[in-house]
Amino acid sequence: MQELSDSFGWPIAIGLLIGFIIGLLIKNFYIGLGIGIVGAIVYVAYKHKQRTNKV
């Protein structure tokens, strides 16, 4: 579980940055940041699932 929490910060930060840029493009920051957070959480969950299935 510690490994998941260690690898969770960067994807969230990058997701927020991408969400901010999307928010600028569509002129709605809340939707852009929401898309960024959801995308980052889905990415981390997918990567964690891949790591646990390799065993």
pLDDT in tens, 1-47: 555 555 677 888 888 899 999 999 999 989 988 998 898 888 888 88
Q: For position 6, what pLDDT does the model report?
A: 56
Q: For position 2, what pLDDT does the model report?
A: 53
Contacts of 16 (CB under 8 A, 6+ apart): 33, 36, 37, 40
Distance, CA of 26 to CA of 45 (rounded, Å): 27
Instruction: Report the Cα–Cα distance between both ends of the chain, in Å, rounded.
Output: 16
Say if pTM beats, i.e. exceeds, 0.85: no
How sure is the predictor about 50, in pLDDT bands with cuts at 50, 70 and 90? confident
Q: Where are the domains positioned within the chain?
A: 2-53
